[in-house]
């Protein structure tokens, strides 16, 4: 029997949906608004949440964002609405909703969606993409090797990162096949010995230490003392130095313990050439998990992703890949869709912003090379990486064109 939380301000819809689901053998709990939903969720620990978008005071999208920000999207959430646009559905999916039901909701559609969501929730899944996916020589494979060497000598490792770092990508590399994973930021109850016993040989992790509340900090300390006994690994990340964490209320002794073994993690802005590879693996992962339809990026789309700023880092890239896969009109995601869906209205395309006064101040040779890179990037994106069309546009013979792109470091 599964427990399902229905959040809707309309009493008639709550009663109708609960009656259908109870007839199917599910245990149903109800909430009429966002405030009530948070209380009921904490008490009932549901296996699935049906969440209405349009509610007074705090709407469903805002509540979904709050859960996502606090790492609480650890159960499937299906959004419901009778007035939502496709943009709203895409936004909900980008934030982390599993599916979307349009009102009035037919019984068959409801039951099919609930069944699919519950299967996703109970299926043994990987927690996320990790460095294990990157086998080609390069920065990410080297980072994986260093990470594993440090973790082999100490089951506790701190990942020191700039804002927008790839902490999650690195941390989940420590997950052992078929062993449990626990995000400490999701724990709302005190950790007990029984829980650690059930996590034996698994991974405990936290993307950012400063997000942990007092209870979660105590859980972290409780786990550190028992890592060896239960053969656990603990990987935590932070953008802060020890002094800053202590100023935020962390105990000095614990901070000292956390910083005994440290690995620097690059920000996504430092991994420009790896962005296409990361995006491709993210898309494959999401497809395998049935989180998105079957899609693939064109070469032009990958070039467009490579040359975006990604100041907000890995979470922003992951969300962008998911949004593009859901919103794409065809199986192929094009460069034009990347520009349309990821560039706010009125904001210039990032590739076209790169010609700046600094180039003019360079020596002629360097300035010419910088301009050529911008020139070819622009046209590569326009033709979606089609070399025949690129040769026609630029007036270059294809052998010379390939050599030129290679010299400029463009794939």
- pLDDT, one tens digit per residue, over 17-33 is 999 999 999 999 999 99
73: nearest Cα among 111, 120, 110: 120
Residue ending a domain, among 91, 122, 153, is 122
Q: What angle do CA 211, 212, 215 make, to 5 degrees?
A: 155
Answer yes or no: do 197 and 242 share one domain.
yes
Ranked by mean pLDDT, which of 113-122, 243-252, 351-360, 397-406 comes out on top?
243-252
Residue ending a domain, among 266, 291, 313, is 266
Residues of 29-52 as b/e, b for ≥16 C-beta within 10 angstroms?
bbbbbbeebbebbeebebbbbbbb
- Eight-state DSSP code of residue 347: P
Residue 323 has pLDDT above 80, yes or no: yes
> Mean pLDDT lowest for which of 35-44, 118-127, 141-150?
118-127
| Beta bridge partner(s), residue 286 | none
Mean pLDDT, rounded, for 162-191: 86
Confidence of residue 124 (pLDDT cuts 50, 70, 90): very low
What's residue 157's pLDDT?
97
In a domain, 238, yes or no: yes
In a domain, 224, yes or no: yes
Confidence of residue 125 (pLDDT cuts 50, 70, 90): very low
Please provide residue 373's backbone torsions phi and psi, each rounded to the nearest 5 degrees: -60, -50
What's residue 122's pLDDT?
53
Is the whole-model pTM more than 0.85? no
> What's the total number of domains in the chain?
3
Residue 161: partners with Cβ closer than 8 Å, 6 or more residues away: 167, 237, 238, 239, 264, 265, 266, 267
For residue 411, how many other CB atoms are within 10 A of its CB? 13
351, 374 Cβ separation under 8 angstroms: yes
Residue ending a domain, among 215, 237, 266, is 266
In a domain, 399, yes or no: yes
In a domain, 318, yes or no: no
> Mean pLDDT lowest for which of 57-66, 240-249, 378-387?
378-387
CA distance 86 to 203: 38
In a domain, 282, yes or no: no
CA distance 113 to 90: 17
> Which residue did the predictor score with more confidence, 397 or 355?
397
In a domain, 47, yes or no: yes
In a domain, 368, yes or no: yes
Answer yes or no: do 84 and 185 share one domain.
no
Answer yes or no: do 217 and 112 share one domain.
no
Answer yes or no: do 52 and 87 share one domain.
yes
317, 279 Cβ separation under 8 angstroms: yes
Residue range(s) defining the domain that contains residue 254: 131-266
In a domain, 277, yes or no: no
The helix/strand/coil state of 31 is strand
Confidence of residue 357 (pLDDT cuts 50, 70, 90): low
- Over residues 263-272, the pLDDT tens digits come to 999 988 889 8
Answer yes or no: do 139 and 253 share one domain.
yes
The helix/strand/coil state of 161 is strand
Which two structure tokens, joined as six digits, stand for 369?
């090379």
Please provide residue 297's backbone torsions phi and psi, each rounded to the nearest 5 degrees: -90, 140
299, 384 Cβ separation under 8 angstroms: yes
CA distance 63 to 344: 24
Answer yes or no: do 106 and 147 share one domain.
no
Confidence of residue 353 (pLDDT cuts 50, 70, 90): very low
Entry field: residues in the chain: 411
CA distance 312 to 366: 30
Match 């400490």 to its residue by tokens. 184
* Portion of the chain with pLDDT greater than 70, in percent: 90
Residue 166 has pLDDT above 80, yes or no: yes
Answer yes or no: do 29 and 46 share one domain.
yes
321: nearest Cα among 286, 350, 270: 286
Confidence of residue 187 (pLDDT cuts 50, 70, 90): confident
Answer yes or no: do 14 and 92 share one domain.
yes
Answer yes or no: do 187 and 240 share one domain.
yes
Answer yes or no: do 116 and 65 share one domain.
yes
Which two structure tokens, joined as six digits, stand for 402?
């390939």
Counting other chains too, the contacts that 83-91 makes at CB distance below 8 Å and 24 or more residues apart are: 83/53, 83/54, 84/53, 84/54, 86/327, 88/53, 88/61, 90/323, 90/326, 90/327, 91/61
Answer yes or no: do 99 and 14 share one domain.
yes
Over the chain, what is the mean pLDDT? Answer: 85
Q: What CATH number is associated with residue 361?
A: 1.10.10.60
Answer yes or no: do 170 and 220 share one domain.
yes
Q: What CATH number is associated with residue 166?
A: 3.40.50.300
Q: What CATH number is associated with residue 95?
A: 3.40.50.2300
């Amino acid at each position: 029997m599964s427990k399902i939380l229905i959040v809707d301000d309309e009493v008639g819809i709550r009663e109708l949906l609960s009656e259908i689901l109870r007839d199917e053998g599910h245990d149903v709990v109800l909430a009429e608004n966002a405030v009530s939903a948070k209380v009921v969720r904490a008490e009932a620990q549901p296996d699935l949440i049906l969440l209405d978008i349009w509610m007074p005071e705090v709407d469903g999208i805002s509540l979904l964002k709050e859960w996502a920000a606090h790492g609480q999207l650890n159960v499937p959430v299906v959004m419901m609405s009778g007035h939502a646009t496709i943009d709203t559905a895409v936004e909900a999916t980008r934030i982390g909703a599993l599916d979307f039901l349009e009102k009035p909701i037919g019984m068959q559609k409801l039951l099919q969606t609930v069944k699919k969501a519950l299967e996703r929730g109970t299926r043994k899944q990987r927690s996320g993409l990790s460095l294990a996916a990157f086998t080609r020589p390069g920065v990410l494979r080297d980072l994986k090797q260093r990470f594993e060497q440090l973790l082999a000598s100490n089951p506790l490792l701190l990942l020191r990162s700039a804002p927008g770092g790839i902490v999650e990508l690195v941390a989940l590399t420590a997950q052992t096949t078929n062993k449990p994973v626990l995000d400490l930021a999701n724990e709302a109850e005190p950790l007990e010995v029984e829980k650690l016993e059930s996590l034996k040989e698994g991974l405990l992790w936290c993307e950012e230490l400063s997000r942990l509340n007092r209870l979660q900090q105590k859980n972290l300390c409780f786990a550190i003392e028992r890592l060896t006994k239960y053969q656990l690994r603990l990987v935590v990340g932070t953008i802060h130095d020890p002094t800053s964490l202590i100023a935020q209320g962390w105990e000095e002794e614990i901070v000292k313990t956390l910083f005994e073994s440290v690995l620097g993690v690059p920000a996504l802005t430092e991994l420009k050439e790896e962005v296409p590879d990361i995006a491709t693996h993210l898309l494959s992962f999401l497809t395998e998990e049935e989180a998105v339809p079957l899609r693939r990026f064109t070469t032009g789309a990958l070039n467009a992703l490579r040359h975006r700023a990604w100041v907000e880092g890995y979470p922003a890239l992951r969300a962008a890949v998911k949004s593009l896969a859901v919103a794409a009109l065809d199986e192929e995601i094009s460069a034009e869709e990347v520009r349309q869906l990821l560039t706010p209205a009125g904001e210039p395309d990032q590739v076209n912003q790169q010609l700046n006064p600094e180039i003019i101040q360079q020596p002629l040779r360097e300035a010419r090379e910088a301009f050529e890179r911008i020139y070819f990037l622009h046209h590569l994106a326009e033709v979606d990486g089609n070399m025949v069309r690129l040769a026609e546009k630029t007036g270059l013979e294809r052998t010379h064109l390939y050599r030129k792109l290679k010299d400029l470091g463009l794939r």
